[in-house]
Structure 1
Amino acid sequence: MKKPNTVYVIDDDKIYTYLLSRQIKSVDFCDNTLIFNNGQEAINHLSPLQDSHDELPDVILLDLNMPVMDGWQFLDVFDTFKLAKKIKVYIVSSSIDEADHQKAAGYDICNFYVKPISKENLAEIKRDILS
C-alpha cells in the first residue's frame, strides 16, 4: 500500500505531538511529518506553497483548541487558499462537544477523531487517502 508523502500535525500539546509522531513512524504512515504549534504557524508555512503541488502536505491532522490561532480560525483561512492539490483535513481533538462535530460538518473535513488517535485510526485515514 502506498503512503502519504507529507502530513502536517497542527497541535499545541508537545507531549501529544511527540507521541503521535512516534506512532506515525511506528506504523509507517507517511514519509514526512511536520508539526506546528498553532494554526498561524501552519498558515505561515502553507501560504507561500499554495502553487507548489509537491511541497504541499497530503494530510493535515488538526487540533481545535490552540493559542494564537485555533483550529476553526485555521480552517477559515485555509478555505480561502487556492491550492495546487486537494489536501485532506482530519480534526483530531479532545473535544466531545456535539456542537464542534456539527460545526466541523460545515467545512471540508474528512473526519473528526477524538484524542488520542489510535493506530487503527491512522490505518483508516491511510485507506481513505489512498482510495
Structure 2
Amino acid sequence: MPRKIANLWIIDDDPMASFYIKRLAELGELADIITIYDKARGAVDYLLHHRQTVEHLPDVILLDIYMPELDGWGFLQEFAKIKDQLAKPIEIYIISSSGHLKDINRANSIPEVKAYIQKPVTKEKLREVVKPLKG
C-alpha cells in the first residue's frame, strides 16, 4: 500500500502559491513534512550542507521555474552537479504557471525532472503526478 512522502519541499517565490500547494498537499495527506523555500539558493545551500543526512533531505521537490536571483533552471543546474553526493535520490517536479511549449520541452529534456505540472495545481493533479513512495 502506498504511504505518504516523508519530506516534501516547495520552492516558489510566490507565497500565495506556496501556501496553496502546501495546503493541497496537507489536505491530500501527501507528505509528513512540508518545507517551503522562497529562494532556490537557500534550498541549494541546505542540500549542500545536509547532503549526507538522509533524514534532512527531501524525497520530492516541487519547483517553480521563474523566480528572481537563482531561478528553477539554475536550481536544476546546481542540483545536477551535487545529486551524486546526496545520501538519497530526490524526485523533482516542475510547477509553473507557464504553459509555453519551450518551457515544457526544456523541463522534459532534464533527466532530474519527473514531470511538469502547470498551475493552478489541484489536489488530484498532485496525487496523480507525485506518486507516493511505496511502503
C-alpha contact 2:3 2:132 (8 A) present in aligned 1: no
Give, in whole Å, the separation in 2 of the partners of 1:75 and 1:126: 18
State which of 86, 89, 92 in structure 2 corresponds to 1:89.
Answer: 92
CA-CA distance at 1:126 after TM superposition = 4.1
Q: Distance in 1 between matches of 2:28 and 2:108?
A: 29
Pairing 1:1-131 to 2, within 5 Å after superposition: 1-81=2-82, 82-107=85-110, 108-127=112-131, 129-130=133-134
- TM-score normalised per structure 1: 0.93
Equivalent pair of 1:10/1:60 in contact (CA under 8 Å): yes
Give TM-score scaled by structure 2 length.
0.90
Partners in 1 of 2:50 and 2:132 — Cα distance? 24
Structure 2, unaligned runs of 5 or more = none
Please list every run of at least 4 consecutive aligned residues from structure 1 whose deviation after the TM superposition is greater than 4 angstroms: none
For the Cα contact (< 8 Å) 2:95–2:118, is it kept in 1?
yes
Runs of 5+ in structure 1 lacking a partner?
none
Offset at residue 23 of structure 1 (A): 1.3
Letter in structure 2 aligned against 1:118: T
